[in-house]
């Protein structure tokens, strides 16, 4: 593999700390968390104490004010160990940046310290039963009534849904204005009328609490409006490149781990009196996968460099998400095949990774939406 230049010595020291923490505090328990349908909430507080949550948040609010490379390292190490139940990426890379970038000073002072410590877990509620990739089609409404909004509607497939203390909710404050009527509200989980539905049973990512959320005349104070009214769709579009980069980083790190598991397996497993690694088909498959993986790693690292420079555009981020997640599913399927029947057993990490990866092509905008974004950029005049 080509040496990576996107991370500094300080980054790699941080990576070592994250890896050791996950090996001792998460990996031994993840199988039980898969049965429980969620990770232990105390893991969040332990991570907060170590500085692993929201490393980009400014020092004024208790953060470390580091670059996004530190977020990327946390994402990669979680993916390498197959710890897909841990929702730190959604929290640190996606939800909390909305507060940092668009929140008032009062909102930042109130919520960010808890987000950093792990006392506040965040979620973002975009998807609805009838509106997935079509964010303009959300039907959840927030009607202004004096000093509060009355929030009504439902959301589904919400990561961190059971643990969440604070949810960034996408709602229509003007149902007749299309995208210009979309706003973002900060909704606290103890608000009357806010109910969390069942923890959804999924094909993969079984330790991740993914839930339905229901809002029945929830009174949201006007001071919990995030940014300007009617500006929500613009904010969502501005933040999606970072979200899609996070997904791509997860995908490539997971691919690298799966290659390692598979190489170890084919060296040890024998068929017809010799290791599977001795067969030309195995050698060619691994060579093809590793070649594509190397090329994608270089591209994704370049995207990370562009993000450091605030130059990662919407189309390039869409390409990163599309290519990385399509390849992730391809690689894991090929690696499972090389494991044979054992690859289909849940006790093997390749089986869990194969099941966990499929959703990567769906969330953060389906890969079909990524193709639309890329084609529009290509064909615009």
- Euclidean distance between CA atoms 171 and 103, whole angstroms: 17
Angle (CA) 124 226 210, round 5°: 10
Q: Give all domains of the chain, ordered by start, each with its CATH number.
A: 9-120 (1.10.540.10), 123-230 (2.40.110.10), 234-379 (1.20.140.10)
Is 256 an active-site residue? no
- Euclidean distance between CA atoms 119 and 135, whole angstroms: 30
Tell me the pLDDT of the chain (381 aa) as tens digits.
Answer: 688 999 999 999 999 999 999 999 999 999 999 999 999 999 999 999 999 999 999 999 999 999 999 999 999 999 999 999 999 999 999 999 999 999 999 999 999 999 999 999 999 999 998 877 777 789 999 999 999 999 999 999 999 999 999 999 999 999 999 899 999 999 999 999 999 999 999 999 999 999 999 999 999 999 999 999 999 999 999 999 999 999 999 999 999 999 999 999 999 999 999 999 999 999 999 999 999 999 999 999 999 999 999 999 999 999 999 999 999 999 999 999 999 999 999 999 999 999 999 999 999 999 999 999 999 999 998
- Euclidean distance between CA atoms 180 and 198, whole angstroms: 32
Catalytic residue among 243, 256, 305, 334: 243
Structure tokens at 220: 């949201």
Q: What does the H/E/C string look like for 160-226?
A: CCCCCCEEEEEEECCCCCHHHHEEEEEEECCCCCEEEEEECCCCCCCCCCEEEEEEEEEEEEHHHEE
Cα-based distances in Å from 303 to 11, 72, 93, 311, 377: 17, 12, 15, 9, 17
Q: Other C-beta atoms within 10 Å of 13: how many?
A: 10
Q: Other C-beta atoms within 10 Å of 260: how many?
A: 13
Largest interatomic CA distance in the chain? 78
Which among 102, 212, 99 has a CA at the least distance from the CA of 159? 212
Strands 166-172 and 122-125, by their bridges, are parallel
């Amino acid at each position: 593999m080509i040496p990576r230049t996107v991370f500094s010595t300080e980054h790699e020291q941080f990576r070592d700390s994250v890896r050791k923490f996950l090996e001792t505090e998460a990996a031994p328990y993840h199988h039980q968390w898969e049965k429980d349908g969620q990770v232990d909430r105390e893991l969040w507080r332990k991570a907060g104490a170590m500085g692993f949550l929201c490393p980009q948040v400014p020092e004024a609010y208790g953060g470390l004010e580091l670059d996004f490379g530190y977020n990327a390292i946390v994402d990669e190490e979680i993916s390498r160990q197959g710890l897909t139940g841990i929702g730190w990426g959604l929290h640190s890379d996606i939800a909390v940046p909305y507060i940092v970038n668009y929140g008032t000073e009062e909102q930042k002072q109130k919520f960010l310290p808890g987000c950093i410590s792990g006392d506040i877990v965040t979620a973002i509620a975009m998807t609805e039963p009838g509106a997935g990739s079509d964010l303009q089609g959300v039907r959840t409404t927030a009607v202004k009534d004096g000093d509060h909004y009355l929030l009504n509607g439902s959301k589904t497939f919400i990561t961190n849904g059971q643990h969440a203390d604070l949810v960034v909710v996408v709602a229509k404050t003007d149902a007749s204005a299309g995208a210009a009527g979309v706003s973002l509200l900060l909704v606290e989980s103890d608000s009357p009328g806010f109910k969390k539905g069942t923890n959804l049973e999924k094909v993969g990512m079984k330790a991740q609490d993914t839930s339905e959320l229901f809002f029945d005349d929830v009174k949201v104070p006007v001071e919990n409006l995030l940014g300007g009214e009617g500006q929500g769709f613009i904010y969502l579009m501005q933040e999606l490149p970072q979200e899609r980069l996070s997904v791509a980083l997860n995908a490539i790190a997971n691919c690298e781990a799966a290659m390692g598991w598979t190489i170890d397996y084919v060296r040890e497993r024998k068929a017809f009196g010799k290791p599977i690694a001795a067969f030309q088909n195995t050698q060619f498959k691994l060579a093809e996968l590793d070649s594509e993986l190397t090329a994608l790693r270089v591209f994704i690292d370049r995207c990370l460099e562009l993000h450091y420079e605030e130059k990662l555009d919407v189309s390039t981020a869409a390409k990163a998400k599309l290519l990385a997640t399509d390849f992730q599913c391809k690689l894991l399927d090929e690696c499972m095949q090389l494991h044979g029947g054992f690859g289909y057993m849940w006790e093997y990490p390749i089986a869990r990774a194969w099941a966990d990866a499929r959703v990567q092509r769906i969330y953060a905008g389906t890969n079909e939406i990524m193709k639309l974004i890329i084609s529009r950029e290509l064909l615009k005049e």
